[in-house]
């Protein structure tokens, strides 16, 4: 026999485990009475310590658990159950108790902190480490993930697979970020554990030597050969031997064709730049020289530096703005709702002179729109002092001036026109009529009107269209994109007298930047006199004449003139005059009775005597007040 029990590390809610029952075919009670024992030789000490054999009042054997179960410690217990009758005959069966595993153990990483190294040139998908976690449960399925608390850069650059493999998701760059930290989580669906992973990015030789000049390279025309013009620093962004550089200068020493040459200085990787001849600016305004350098990486990377030396002259050319049209206007654009300090444009100007004579300074002149902008005098970068709203003003004009640093200085001018471009910052708004009416029973389709809306934005941001939102009666209406509201079904005012139609007006900006506004549009159904008044009091039946009528008994002694005989009440599903009821008597010989046209109260009109003691038939007519085609009931 086999019994399966959940191993939860504790006792079961019902500690009894029923065992197989032995059958004895003897007739005598003394001979057929069965007793049960566990064969000690077949059971381990753990089995005897965990279970106790008992017999219930019906003689059926069962196990009683003496302590809790743990599938991780022992997965099964086995023993021989011996059944013996009154004559000493025995039968036996091997019982195996199998402990089913439950999730009662948390997964655990092998290490609470893992440090790995990876070269920056490894491709996406490269596995840099395989994290391992243990779970003492016999049956478990572990899921690995990078915890959301990890830095965004770590989550962006790395991914972890289902088997715990940590791989590269985005390319790495040692020069940008050399160390990443993240928390990796493992879960078995109920419990979880975390470990800290440190990824150290190792440098690869992926940068060629770079150059940094000490300043502007220039020399006055007519100077003696050999004058120092400036210097250049050579550097490599890589580290280690990949960042060590060498440069070639020997071939320059005796080369008379060169205009400039380089000489290594005492400081590492610093080179001076010298002229090799006397320059004439009218023949050569710019001279060049090259320096070839390489690093010690494997493989080595090489780059070439070109020194451009300006030959200075006197200031005989005025600076000139670039990008002007025939009217002297430079166009620029700035999107509205900008942050203060946002860059509008960077102005460019040129000066045919060189050196100080061509060193330009920019400024804003005038007292108009210039107060809303700043300009960097060196770079020509124009920035906004404040945030702009295109819907208030969409264009600004700035007077510009650029001057060189010559003696005397020369100046150029231009006008900058800044157009404020639209941002979809306004929702379309309904305007005009949003309430319509239609007469009931009108054959569809019926155009009720055209809704209108406006949007302060421009372009697609300011173009609007209409849609009908979902509601219970949308099959009775249609909203066209141009705002046309059309009734598509015959309407009955007595069913529904007023509809509230949810309509959305949206601009045509691309998602997710589009904006919209919702509005309940009211459609009122106007009444036509299509309902006949219906007399509901007195109700037919009871003391009735049969059909639409009733019998009322009065006394000539108690019903004096003005006494109430009967109140008649009618209803009409129409509204207005079509639903207002007027009552009249159409059959009353002798004018003994009268009826109030508004209330329907029938009263005694004159004094009654013995001669009036008879049956009087009164015909009451209930009519609506439609002046053209009234309807009535009697």
Residue 315 near residue 407, CB atoms below 8 Å? yes
One domain, residues 246 and 198: no
Strand pairing partners for 77? Answer: 97
- Choosing from 285, 312, 339, the residue where a domain stops is 312
Does residue 13 carry a pLDDT above 70?
A: no
One domain, residues 442 and 348: no
Confidence of residue 350 (pLDDT cuts 50, 70, 90): very high
One domain, residues 195 and 225: no
**pLDDT tens digits along 289-339:** 888 999 888 889 899 999 999 988 878 789 999 999 999 999 999 999 999
One domain, residues 305 and 217: yes
Query: What DSSP string describes 477-525?
Result: EEE-TTSEEEE-S---TTT-SEEEEEEEEEE-PPTTS--EEEEEEEEEE
pLDDT value, residue 491:
95
**pLDDT tens digits along 557-590:** 999 999 999 999 999 888 888 889 999 998 766 6
436-472 per-residue burial string, b: 16 or more CB within 10 A, e: under 16: bebebeeeeebebbebbbebbbeeebbebbbebeeee
pLDDT value, residue 376:
96
pLDDT value, residue 540:
64
pLDDT value, residue 544:
47
Of 33 and 515, the structure prediction assigns the larger pLDDT to 515
One domain, residues 245 and 279: yes
Closest CA to 202 of 169, 219, 182, 180: 180
CA–CA gap between residue 307 and residue 249 (Å, rounded): 14
**pLDDT tens digits along 471-525:** 999 999 999 999 999 999 999 998 999 999 999 999 999 999 999 999 999 999 9
Residues 6+ apart with CB under 8 A from 476: 487, 488, 489, 491, 499
Q: Is the dihedral of CA 39, 43, 48, 54 positive or negative?
A: negative
Confidence of residue 353 (pLDDT cuts 50, 70, 90): confident
- Choosing from 377, 404, 421, the residue where a domain stops is 421
Does residue 545 carry a pLDDT above 70?
A: no
Q: Is the dihedral of CA 381, 385, 389, 395 positive or negative?
A: negative
- Total domains present in the chain: 6
One domain, residues 215 and 304: yes
Output the average pLDDT for the chain.
88
Residues 6+ apart with CB under 8 A from 589: 616
**pLDDT tens digits along 123-151:** 999 999 998 888 777 777 888 999 999 99
Residue 192's H or E segment, with its range, is: strand 192-202
**pLDDT tens digits along 606-629:** 999 998 898 988 899 999 898 888
Domain that holds residue 124: 108-202
The gap between the terminal CA atoms of the chain, to the nearest Å, is 91
Does residue 282 carry a pLDDT above 70?
A: no
Mean pLDDT value across residues 437-453: 95
Percent of the chain's residues with pLDDT above 90? 49
**pLDDT tens digits along 524-534:** 999 898 888 99
C-alpha angle with apex 575: 571 to 579, nearest 5 degrees? 40
pLDDT value, residue 542:
46
Least confident of 101-110, 427-436, 454-463: 101-110
Residues 6+ apart with CB under 8 A from 376: 362, 382, 383
Residue 592 near residue 605, CB atoms below 8 Å? yes
Strand pairing partners for 97? Answer: 3, 77
Mean pLDDT value across residues 594-599: 92
CA–CA gap between residue 127 and residue 167 (Å, rounded): 4
- Choosing from 280, 312, 344, the residue where a domain stops is 312
One domain, residues 616 and 594: yes
Does residue 270 carry a pLDDT above 70?
A: yes
One domain, residues 229 and 153: no
One domain, residues 57 and 88: yes
**pLDDT tens digits along 91-130:** 999 989 887 767 777 888 888 898 999 988 889 999 999 9
Of 467 and 78, the structure prediction assigns the larger pLDDT to 467
pLDDT value, residue 423:
93
One domain, residues 561 and 496: no
The enclosing domain of 288 has a CATH number of: 2.60.40.60
pLDDT value, residue 368:
83
C-alpha angle with apex 523: 521 to 524, nearest 5 degrees? 145
Q: Where are the alpha helices (DSSP H) in 100-166?
A: 152-157
One domain, residues 336 and 356: yes
pLDDT value, residue 174:
86
Does residue 548 carry a pLDDT above 80?
A: no
What's the pTM?
0.44
**pLDDT tens digits along 145-173:** 999 999 999 999 999 988 889 999 999 98
pLDDT value, residue 465:
97
pLDDT value, residue 563:
93
Percent of the chain's residues with pLDDT above 70? 94
One domain, residues 260 and 329: no
CA–CA gap between residue 141 and residue 147 (Å, rounded): 18
Confidence of residue 15 (pLDDT cuts 50, 70, 90): low
Count of beta carbons in the 10 Å neighbourhood of residue 201: 21
Residues 6+ apart with CB under 8 A from 457: 391, 422, 423, 424, 425, 426, 507, 509
């Amino acid at each position: 026999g086999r019994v399966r029990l959940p191993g939860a590390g504790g006792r079961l809610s019902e500690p009894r485990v029923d065992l197989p029952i032995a059958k004895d075919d003897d007739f005598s009670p003394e001979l057929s009475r069965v007793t049960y024992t566990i064969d000690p030789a077949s059971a381990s000490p753990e089995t005897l310590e965990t279970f106790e054999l008992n017999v219930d009042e019906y003689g059926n054997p069962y196990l009683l658990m003496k302590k809790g179960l743990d599938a991780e410690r022992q997965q099964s217990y086995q023993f021989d159950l011996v059944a013996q009758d009154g004559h000493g005959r025995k039968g036996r069966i091997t019982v195996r108790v199998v402990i089913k595993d439950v999730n009662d153990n948390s997964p655990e990483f092998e290490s609470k902190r893992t440090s790995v190294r990876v070269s920056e040139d490894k491709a996406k998908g490269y596995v840099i480490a395989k994290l391992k976690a243990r779970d003492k449960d016999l049956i478990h399925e572990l899921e690995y993930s990078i915890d959301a608390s990890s830095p965004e850069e770590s989550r962006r650059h790395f991914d972890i697979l289902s088997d715990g493999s940590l791989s590269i998701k985005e390319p790495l760059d040692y020069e940008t970020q050399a160390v990443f930290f993240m928390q990796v989580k493992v879960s078995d669906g109920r419990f979880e554990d975390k470990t800290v992973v440190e990824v150290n990015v190792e440098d690869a030789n992926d940068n060629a030597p770079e150059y940094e000049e000490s300043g502007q390279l220039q020399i006055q025309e007519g100077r003696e050969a050999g004058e120092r013009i400036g210097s250049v620093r050579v550097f490599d962004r890589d580290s280690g031997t990949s960042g060590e550089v060498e440069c070639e200068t020997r071939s320059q020493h005796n080369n008379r064709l060169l205009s400039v040459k380089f000489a290594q200085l005492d400081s590492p990787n610093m080179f001076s730049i010298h002229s090799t001849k006397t320059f004439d600016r009218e023949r050569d305004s710019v001279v060049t020289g090259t320096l070839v350098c390489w690093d010690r990486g494997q493989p080595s990377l090489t780059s070439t530096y070109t020194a451009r030396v300006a030959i200075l002259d006197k200031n005989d050319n005025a600076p000139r703005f670039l990008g002007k049209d025939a009217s002297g206007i430079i166009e620029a654009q700035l999107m509205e709702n900008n942050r203060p300090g946002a860059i509008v444009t960077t102005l460019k100007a040129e000066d045919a002179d060189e050196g100080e004579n061509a060193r330009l300074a920019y400024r804003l002149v005038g007292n108009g729109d210039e107060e809303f902008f700043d300009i960097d005098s060196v770079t020509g970068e124009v920035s906004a002092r404040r945030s702009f709203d295109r819907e208030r003003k969409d264009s600004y004009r700035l007077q510009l001036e650029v001057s060189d640093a010559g003696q005397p200085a020369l100046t150029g001018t231009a006008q900058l026109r800044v157009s404020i471009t639209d941002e979809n910052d306004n929702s379309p708004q309904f305007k005009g009529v949003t309430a319509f009416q239609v007469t009931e029973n009108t054959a569809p389709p019926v155009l009720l009107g055209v809704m209108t809306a406006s949007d302060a934005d421009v372009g697609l941001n300011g173009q609007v269209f209409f849609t009908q939102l979902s509601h219970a009666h949308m099959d009775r209406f249609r909203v066209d994109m141009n705002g046309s509201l059309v009734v598509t079904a015959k309407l009955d005012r007595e069913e529904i007298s007023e509809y509230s139609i949810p309509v959305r007006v949206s601009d045509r900006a691309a998602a997710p930047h589009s904006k919209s506004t919702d509005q309940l549009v009211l459609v009122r159904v106007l009444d036509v006199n299509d309902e006949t008044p219906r007399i509901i009091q007195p109700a037919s039946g009871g003391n009735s004449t049969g059909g639409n009528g009733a019998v009322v008994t009065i006394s000539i002694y108690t019903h004096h003139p003005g006494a109430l005989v009967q109140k008649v009440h009618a209803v009409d599903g129409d509204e207005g005059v079509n639903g207002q009821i007027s009552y009249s008597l159409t059959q009353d010989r002798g004018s003994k009775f009268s009826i109030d046209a508004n209330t329907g109260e029938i009263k005694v009109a004159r004094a009654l005597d013995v001669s009036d003691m008879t049956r009087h038939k009164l015909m009451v007519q209930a009519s609506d007040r439609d002046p053209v085609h009234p309807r009535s009931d009697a």
